Structure 1
C-alpha cells in the first residue's frame, strides 16, 4: 500500500470510487453527474486543496482523502471533507493503514492537526474514534437550511 497526492490521471477513477462508496448504505447519496463533477472540482481544484490517494499493491486506487490545508495560530491543519475506502475492503484495516500513511505525509508538510466532521449514527464515527480522533467538547457543527 502506498499513499500519495492524487494524480490528475486518476480523477475519473476517484469519482467512480466516491460514487460506489456513498451511493450505498449507510449514506445512499443520489448524485447526478453535473453536481458530482462540480463538488469534486470544489474539493480538488482550490489553492489549498489536498487530495490524497491510497493505492494497493497492484497500483489500483482503493481510497481517497479530499480536503483542505488551512493555517491556524497553532500551525497548519488538514480538514478532511471526504474520506472513503472501497466498499469491498472496508472493515479490513485498510482505512486505518491509510490514515497512518497520511499522517506521515502530513507531518512532512508541517501539518499539526487533522480535522473532520461526521455523523454519530454512521460506522465512520466509531472508525475515527478507534483511530484516535477525539470529539471536541467545546465545539459544535451547526447548519441552517435556507428557506426556498
Structure 2
C-alpha cells in the first residue's frame, strides 16, 4: 500500500534510509541527526511531497519517496529526491509498484512529469531506466561546493 508521507513516518523512514545507504553499493557514513536534519529541511519546503510503501500484513514501512513539486514550462513536475526500498524487499518488484502508484497520485494532482538525478552505473540508474526514465542529452548536472 502506498500512501502520502506524514510526520509520524519520519523516525522509521530515517532509520530505513540509514540502513540502506550505509551498505553496498553506497557505503555512506551517516548519523541519525544528519539524516533527521535532511528530512526536516525537505519537509519544510512548502512544495514537499513524500510517499511511503507499507507492507499490508505487518503495517511496516518498507519504502519511502521524498521529493517536491516545482513549476516547469509544461506545467508541474515532481522532483524525486530519494526513493528507497528496504534491503530485504529489493528485487521483488515493489519499487516498480511504488513508482507506478506514485505516478497515479501525481497525475491526479495534475503533475505531468518526474525529474531526478542519480549516480551512473549504480543499481538506481538501471532501476529508473527499466521503469521508463530516460537520460536527457540536452541536460547536464553541475555542482559547486564551497
Answer whether TM exceeds 0.5 for this pair: yes
For 2:105 and 2:8, the matched residues in 1 are separated by 21
C-alpha contact 2:51 2:64 (8 A) present in aligned 1 = yes
For 2:123 and 2:31, the matched residues in 1 are separated by 25
Unaligned runs of 5+ in 2: none
2:11 paired with 1:12: yes
Structural mapping, 1:1-148, within 5 Å: 2-58=1-57, 59-146=59-146
C-alpha displacement at 1:9, in angstroms? 1.4
Q: Secondary structure at the match of 1:63?
A: strand
Deviations 1:68-112 (A, max 9, x none): 101112011000111100010111111000000101111111100
C-alpha contact 2:68 2:78 (8 A) present in aligned 1 = yes
C-alpha contact 2:18 2:31 (8 A) present in aligned 1 = no
For 1:34 and 1:77, the matched residues in 2 are separated by 30
Unaligned runs of 5+ in 1: none
For 1:133 and 1:88, the matched residues in 2 are separated by 24
For 1:45 and 1:6, the matched residues in 2 are separated by 13
Q: Secondary structure at the match of 1:35?
A: helix
Q: Secondary structure at the match of 1:144?
A: coil
Q: Pairwise CA RMSD of aligned residues?
A: 1.0
